[in-house]
Amino acid sequence: MTMKRLPTLIFIAMLLGVLAGTAAHHLAPDAATAKSIADHFSILTDIFMRMIKMIIGPLVFATLVSGIAGMGDGKAVGRIGLKAMAWFLGASITSLLLGLVMANLLAPGHGMNLPLPAADAASNLKTGALNLREFIAHMFPKSFVEAMATNEILQIVVFSLFFGFALGTLKDGIGKPVLQGVDGLGHVMLKVTNYVMAFAPIGVFGAVSAVITAQGLGVLTIYAKLLGSLYLALALLWVALIAGGYYFLGRDIFRLIRQLRAPLMIGFATASSESAYPKVIEQLTRFGVKPRITGFVLPLGYSFNLDGSIMYTSFAALFVAQVYGIQLSLTQQITMLLVLLVTSKGIAGVPRASLVVVAAVLPMFGLPEAGILLVLGIDHILDMGRTVTNVLGNAIATTVVAKSEGAIGAPDLSDEDDTSADSNTGLTPAQALASK
């Protein structure tokens, strides 16, 4: 299967998933049976997601270490890191502000005036660890093996930073074979990624059909106002991100978006930023971004720059307040924005991770934690929108940083995967990819 056909196959899989899910939902005699059928559809998605998770850790480690070690000096790493973090901070503030403004302007929960839930009502979400102290401590792994085993991306990034810096100082001596081995690991993981992505349409079909089977198409009308409001806010965020990209990239921003069709559709259908990560790397390389930039900036973005998820946290918190008729002052909302700016960093790129952040922040402002249950029914659909925004935001951020470093070369217009063809050139995999 060629890579050009993948977006088409994914789109077809989504349509088939809607049709299959709708038929199963109507044929199921009761909700329990519908859920059972949905669980069977979910097997396909579970398999695809497990395959994605098995490559995420090694891929992040190999690309990040290779990127840092290949920088040549610590000044380059620091300069690129500062540029990336400056973009991430600006994008995060924009996302949060836009979420607050749109939630106040559109007021999707206004007028419902639901009674406050019982004090002991809970959303069954783990929230106790989400505070500044625990977040900072959690960034640093107790064990690299444990971080890899649990796909703790932020911990893998921290270890890879130390490892990459150390390897960069030794790469001309004893570290040379280690660097070659890491480059080789990255090459192998890119090849494995192509194999895994061949299963993407199957995983997409399972994800869409499972949601429609369990909830039916009616769920879209029940929460139409919330869905419409959030997706309008996300569309405005897209405009802001693309405008920022246009400022630095010019018309190339539109070519980049076309290049990202497949990873955007994968992220949208699976509601998981992780599922699109390998494909984003490949498409940015084809666009011309040098792997040393992609391997450094993109993993950082997946920990610090989830624009759609960050917007959703402010939007969902105000939605809960509106539903229960609780008025939050402007000061409280600004304070909430600052709290979310910190707690949203490191959100896992997996479905419904943003709900944990929202549920943790709600009690801080006198809002019932159980209010998050109101959006759980359609959270998968909401998650699809914020996830595709995460993928776009990180791709634009990586490309902008690469442009500022003069690290965008000629695009790779070939359709076939040729990563293995570099084995006889005498170049390391990172050098071979960078020369494209």
For every residue of 109-144, DSSP letters joined together read: TTT--PPPPPTT-------TT-SHHHHHHHHS-S-H
Nearest to 101 by CA among 379, 394, 333: 333
Nearest-angstrom CA–CA distance, 123 and 326: 19
Residue listed under structure tokens 């490892």: 163
Residue 431: pLDDT band with limits 50, 70, 90: very low
CATH entry, 3-434, from 1.10.3860.10, 3.30.720.210, 1.10.3720.10, 2.120.10.70: 1.10.3860.10
Q: Please state, as a whole number, how many other Cβ atoms lie within 10 Å of the Cβ of residue 118.
A: 9
* Token pair of 193 as six digits: 């990624």
The angle formed by the CA atoms of residues 394, 95 and 87, to the nearest 5 degrees, is 45
Q: What is the pLDDT of residues 292-303, one digit of tens each?
A: 888 888 888 877
Q: Which of 2-11, 222-231, 408-417 has the highest mean pLDDT?
A: 222-231
Residue 37: pLDDT band with limits 50, 70, 90: very high
Q: Where are the domains of the chain?
A: 3-434
pLDDT of residue 243: 96
Contact 307, 95 (CB under 8 A): yes
What does the pLDDT average to over 237-252? 95
What is the pLDDT of the chain when averaged over all its residues?
80
* Least confident interval from 240-249, 289-298, 384-393, 427-436: 427-436
Nearest-angstrom CA–CA distance, 62 and 396: 22
The angle formed by the CA atoms of residues 421, 163 and 57, to the nearest 5 degrees, is 60
Nearest-angstrom CA–CA distance, 435 and 291: 10
Q: Please state, as a whole number, how many other Cβ atoms lie within 10 Å of the Cβ of residue 50.
A: 11
Q: Which residue has the higher pLDDT, 425 or 323?
A: 323
> Counting Cβ atoms within 10 Å, is residue 72 exposed (0-12), middle (13-18) or buried (19+)?
exposed
Residue 127: pLDDT band with limits 50, 70, 90: very low
Buried b (16+ CB within 10 A) or exposed e, 390-405: bbbbbbbbbbbbbbbb
What does the pLDDT average to over 370-382? 72
Residue 117: pLDDT band with limits 50, 70, 90: low
pLDDT of residue 422: 41
Nearest to 344 by CA among 331, 353, 335: 353
Torsion of CA 33, 37, 38, 39, to 10 degrees: 100
Residue listed under structure tokens 């419902």: 112
Residue 143: pLDDT band with limits 50, 70, 90: very high
Percent of the chain at pLDDT > 90 equals: 21
pLDDT of residue 250: 94
